Amino acid sequence: MKTRQTCTRCVNDTTVKKIKFNKDGLCSHCSCYDKYKPLLKDYNRLEKLFLHKISNPGQYDYDVAMGFSGGKDSTYVLYQLVKHYKLKVKAYTLDNGFLSAEAKSKIDKIVKELGVEHEYVVCNEEVLKATYKHVVSRYLSPCIACSFLGYAVMINYASKVNARVGMHGRSTYQMFRGLSDSHDDVFRPFVDAGLQEDVDLDALYGEIIGKIDSLVDKKLAKQIKEQLLCDAQRNGYREFVSYFLYHPYDHVQIVDFLQRNTSWHVETDVEHFDCLIHNGALYIKNLVARRSHLMPEFSVMVNEGIITKEQAIGMLKQKPNEKIAKKELKLFCKFAGLSYNWTMFKAIIYSKRWW
């Protein structure tokens, strides 16, 4: 039996894919974060860089195409873009088949309050189900499938509506959870590009989109490119801007701000209420990872001083309701054309590989 090694600073341990530790026991994620930290905390420079990114010479129909889930982060970003930066924004929401009624209600209310044009983007059902089936069969994670679809739609949509940039409200924990010197971190090229004034978009997206071929089969990769990336390939790529790469992130202050300034309020949960299968996805990812799938996000929070390592250890013990999770997984498997029993069997077998 292998012995787990845990980072001396954060809570990442040996179960994190391709993690390494230096002679002092510091993990490779913390070492990589330390390289970026001076850049990530220089908010005077970052604000100027953000303004450079969103400047509009006038040849675009919109300043920003904003991915809007109805959650606290994307709602806050949308508010700031419209009210503070006075930008013309086209908001859109990927309806992946599991968008909750609460999310739709929040979305419809907020876009009306802010006077923002909005569109629900519905993927071709054949491509949607094929992506879910292939990715979950191979990686046992519905969230990876959603990321494939979400990235493709985000890259494409700004070009489709002729926006200066595309933007999203991913938190710092989500952006930096895979931050390492490994080439497996899909989001790192976006971080690197976001910290530069001028970006070679063809090279950036060539690298990102090129990874689709190695992660899914050729037929599905062809369908994704032809149906979900057609506008970007025809009209040219637009930069993909991460709002919280340039602005401080504090989830408590964000919730408080929204409840004071908009109709947005907490109903069932602060996080992930928009997804009807969130508990199921987290359950199977935890099973496969042999620990909380959110461990790398908690570690980013430790590095940013938001929580202590002791608090992170306590958060690692939190688990989704198993009964609810299994019900959601059965719903997902039926939609994707997967066998629930076979999927769970594979997850259990995969979880034992490390030992």
Give the whole-angstrom CA distance, residue 242 versus residue 170. 7
Residue 59 lies in a domain: yes
Q: According to the model, what pLDDT value does residue 183 have?
A: 63
Token output for 352? 């034992």
Residue 290 lies in a domain: no
Give the whole-angstrom CA distance, residue 143 versus residue 106. 22
If one counts the domains in the chain, the total is 1
Which amino acid is present at 61? D
Q: According to the model, what pLDDT value does residue 221 have?
A: 84
Helix axes 340-351, 322-336, angle to 10 degrees: 120
Which residues lie closer than 8 Å to 67 by C-beta, 6 or more apart?
A: 74, 91, 92, 93, 94, 150, 153, 154, 157, 166, 167, 168, 169
Residue 122 lies in a domain: yes
Count the residues in the chain.
355
pLDDT score of 288 more than 80: yes
Closest CA to 242 of 176, 299, 322, 333: 176
Residue 55 lies in a domain: yes
Residue 206 structural domain:
42-246
Residue 292 lies in a domain: no
Computed from CA positions of residues 26, 27, 32, 38, in that sequence, does the dihedral angle turn out positive or negative? negative
User: Phi and psi of 78, rounded to 5°?
Assistant: -60, -45
* CATH of residue 97: 3.40.50
Express each pLDDT in 40-91 by its tens digit.
999 999 999 999 999 877 789 999 999 999 999 999 999 999 999 999 999 9
184 with 17: CB under 8 angstroms? yes
Average pLDDT over residues 291-318: 95
Q: According to the model, what pLDDT value does residue 186 have?
A: 75
Residue 218 lies in a domain: yes
Give the whole-angstrom CA distance, residue 93 versus residue 91. 7
Residue 10 lies in a domain: no
Residue 19 lies in a domain: no
Rg over CA atoms, the chain: 20
